[in-house]
């Protein structure tokens, strides 16, 4: 089933390429159908996942490049599964959103579906080379999506996006190769790319080479996360990307880096991470505060939301640092749970925010926050924006609170000064979201601003995200339970 879910989007995409271009409606419904089936399949995986058993489930292992010990090895961990469901959901909602728009339907649908295969494959890969393969397969379509359907500066933004992420991923590839060469292989091959085998071998532990290997991984994952100072591509890519591109970028692609940080870096090099934990924690704190401050300085709503991603994903980097700074199991579990929760929560909230901002920008012809006001008169839009913004600023009862509370709570237990800085970031971002709400919803509605409330199709695209955020805020156990085993085994590492 997992294999089917990985390749279903790609197969749908190929089918769409084969269908006649003269019937765009058929193409759109076919792509929605493919994405929807993928979502159903991923939900089926979710409900058949045994949260108590832990480990890697639904595993398939076959030879891929036997002579160098790389295999097609996919399976589900608790966190991987959660992100796969999130990816499939966002992919489906994107298809709902574009159901009646966009030129060049064939290419559009194909690229999004190809990206879906890359992302789902990435979050289930248990082999480093396969992970890298899916990583790049997920990146390439985004280049075209930004470049073809983006705004004015799309070519520049697309190129910048691709060069940054590609430079990062090549650094990551070198580190993968170094890890591979440090791991004894099985069955004929001299070395192994298997994540489990590398984790068991712990190559380079305690050597100076380990720092460089870790740095390569940090560059790869850090660009994608994105963490300060590797974030520079993100605002451009987001601002130029079409709405649905921004949604996938923020909702699913940023999780590639976060996932790699928690589920590749920590288990493969726990000792090294512990040794340089202060570096990760510092990067996390800087991203968190810097992201919020930079967002505060923006007038363009889309750019503003883009910067808040740097703030939100900073918690994941901070969590990895806190994990390394302490060996207290309970604190480690708390911080990792928070980080994992943040990944899902950010996907829901920021995905929804980008939909709303995209719609607003499309209707009004501008995204400058000063051009808006008094949109309280649009009940659906105002309600959803309020809900998502309060979720993002960490209001209890919504998913963002559960995530950030856990990370900050763990930080308090480790270093009070780090925690103070975290709270500073939190305060800035609270002010930030309140300013967005005030600027867009309150005050006097400018006379020339005449826009419609959300239509049915748009509601279908956004409401599921808001509902899920609310659900996870009230019943976090829904997500925490499947995560628990994966998180527990990570927490116990390297002690």
Partner 1 sequence: MNCLDLWAIGPELALALTCLLLVPLAGLVRGKWRALPSIFAGFGMVVALFLNIQTLNFPQQAVFCGTYALDGFGSVFKLLIIGSALLALLPIAAYFHGRDAEPHAPVALMFAVLGGVALAGSLDLGLIVLFLQMLSTASYLLVSVTRGGKRANEATLKYFIYGAVALAVMAYGLSFLYGLTGSLSLSSIGAALGGADPVWVWVALTLILVGYAFEITAVPFHFWAPDVYAGASAPVTGFISVLPKIAGFAGLLRLLLIAFPNGLSGWPILIAVLAALTMLLGNLAALRQTRLKRLLAYSSIAQAGYVLMAVAVAGTVPGALSAAGYYLAAYAFMNLAAFTVVAQFERKSGQDQLTSLRGLSKTAPGTAALLTLALLSLAGIPPLAGFLGKVLLLQMALSGGLTWLAVFAALNMVLGLYYYLRPVVEMYLRSPEGETELHREPGYGWALGLTTFGTLLLGIWPAPALALLSGLARMLH
Of 75, 147, 222, 361, which one interacts with partner 1 (CB under 8 A)? 147
181 is a site residue for partner 1 (CB under 8 A): yes
Asked if 201 touches partner 1 (CB under 8 A), the answer is no
Using the minimum distance from each CB to partner 1, give the nearer residue, 158 or 344. Answer: 158
Total chain residues near partner 1 (CB under 8 A) = 33
Applying CB under 8 A, does 282 fall inside the site for partner 1?
Answer: no
Minimum Å distance from CB 159 to partner 1?
7
Which listed range, 25-33, 74-82, 168-176, 261-269, lies at the site for partner 1 (CB under 8 A)?
168-176
The minimum distance between CB 428 and partner 1, in angstroms, equals 34
Residues in 96-135 at the binding interface with partner 1, rule: CB under 8 A: 107, 129, 132-133
Among 85, 96, 114, 171, binds partner 1 (CB under 8 A): 171
Minimum gap (Å) between residue 136 Cβ and partner 1: 5
Looking at beta carbons only, is 10 or 432 nearer to partner 1? 10
Instruction: Determine if 15 is a binding residue for partner 1 (CB under 8 A).
Output: no
Interface with partner 1 includes 148 (CB under 8 A)? yes
Interaction mask 225-254, partner 1, x per CB under 8 A: ------------------------------
Please tell me whether residue 166 binds partner 1 under the rule CB under 8 A.
Answer: yes
Q: Which of residues 26-85 bind partner 1 (CB under 8 A)?
A: 63-68
What string of H, E and C letters represents the secondary structure of the chain? CHHHHHHHHHHHHHHHHHCCCCCHHHHHHHHHHHHHHHHHHHHHHHHHCCCCCCCCEEEEEEEEEHHHCEEEEEEECHHHHHHHHHHHHHHHHHHHHCCCCCCCHHHHHHHHHHHHHHHHHHHHECEHHHHHHHHHHHHHHHHHHHHHHCCCCHHHHHHHHHHHHHHHHHHHHHHHHHHHHCCECCCCCCECCEHHHHHHHCCCCCCCHHHHHHHHHHHHHHHHCCCCCCCCHHHHHHHHCCHHHHHHHHHHHHHHHHHHHHHHHHHHCHHHHHHCHHHHHHHHHHHHHHHHHHHHCCCEHHHHHHHHHHHHHHHHHHHHHHHHHCCCHHHHHHHHHHHHHHHHHHHHHHHHHHHHHHHHHHHHCCCEHHHCCCHHHCHHHHHHHHHHHHHHCCCCCCHHHHHHHHHHHHHHHHCHHHHHHHHHHHHHHHHHHHHHHHHHHCCCCCCCCCCCCCCHHHHHHHHHHHHHHHHHHHCCHHHHHHHHHHHHHHHCCCC
Binding residues for partner 1 (CB under 8 A): 63-68, 107, 129, 132-133, 136-137, 140, 143-144, 147-148, 154-155, 158-159, 162-163, 166-167, 170-171, 173-174, 177-178, 180-181
């Amino acid at each position: 089933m997992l294999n089917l879910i990985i390749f279903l989007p790609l197969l749908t995409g190929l089918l769409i390429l084969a269908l006649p271009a003269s019937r765009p409606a058929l193409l759109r419904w076919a792509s929605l159908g493919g994405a929807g089936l993928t979502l159903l399949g991923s939900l089926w995986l979710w409900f058949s996942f045994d949260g108590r058993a832990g480990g890697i489930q639904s595993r398939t292992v076959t030879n891929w490049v036997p002579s160098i010990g790389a295999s097609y090895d996919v399976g589900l961990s608790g966190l991987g599964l959660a992100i796969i469901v999130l990816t499939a959901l966002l992919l489906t909602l994107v298809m709902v959103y574009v159901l009646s728009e966009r030129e060049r339907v064939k290419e559009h649908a194909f690229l999004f579906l190809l990206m879906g295969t890359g992302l789902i494959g990435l979050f289930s890969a248990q082999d480093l080379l396969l992970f890298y393969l899916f990583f790049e397969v997920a990146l390439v379509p985004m280049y075209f999506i930004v470049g073809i359907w983006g705004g004015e500066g799309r070519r520049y933004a697309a190129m910048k996006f691709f060069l940054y992420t590609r430079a990062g991923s090549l650094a990551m590839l070198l580190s993968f190769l170094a890890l591979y060469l440090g791991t004894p292989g099985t069955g004929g091959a001299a070395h192994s790319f298997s994540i489990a085998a590398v984790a068991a071998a712990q190559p380079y532990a305690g050597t100076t080479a380990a720092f460089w290997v870790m740095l390569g991984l940090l560059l790869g994952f850090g660009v994608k996360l994105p963490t300060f100072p590797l974030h520079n591509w993100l605002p451009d890519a987001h601002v130029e990307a079409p709405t649905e591109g921004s949604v996938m970028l923020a909702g699913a692609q940023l999780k590639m880096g976060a996932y790699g940080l928690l589920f590749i870096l920590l288990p493969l090099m726990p000792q090294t991470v512990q040794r340089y934990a202060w570096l990760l924690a510092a990067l996390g704190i800087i991203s968190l505060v810097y992201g919020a401050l930079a967002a505060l300085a923006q007038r363009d709503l889309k750019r503003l939301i883009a910067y808040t991603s740097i703030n939100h994903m900073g918690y994941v980097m901070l969590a990895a640092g806190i994990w390394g700074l302490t060996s207290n199991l309970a604190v480690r579990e708390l911080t990792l749970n928070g980080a994992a929760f943040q990944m899902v929560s950010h996907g829901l909230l920021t995905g929804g925010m980008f939909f709303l901002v995209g719609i607003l920008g499309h209707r009004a012809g501008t995204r400058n926050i000063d051009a808006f006001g008094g949109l309280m008169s649009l009940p659906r839009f105002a309600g959803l924006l309020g809900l998502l913004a309060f979720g993002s600023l960490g209001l209890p009862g919504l998913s963002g609170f559960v995530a950030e509370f856990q990370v900050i709570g763990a930080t308090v237990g480790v270093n009070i000064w780090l925690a103070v800085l975290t709270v500073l970031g939190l305060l800035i971002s609270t002010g930030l979201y309140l300013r967005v709400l005030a600027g867009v919803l309150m005050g006097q509605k400018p006379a020339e601003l005449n826009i419609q409330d959300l239509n049915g199709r748009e509601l279908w695209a956004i409401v599921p995200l808001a509902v899920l955020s609310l659900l996870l805020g009230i019943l976090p156990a829904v997500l925490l339970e499947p995560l628990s085993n994966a998180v527990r085994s990570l927490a116990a590492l390297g002690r």
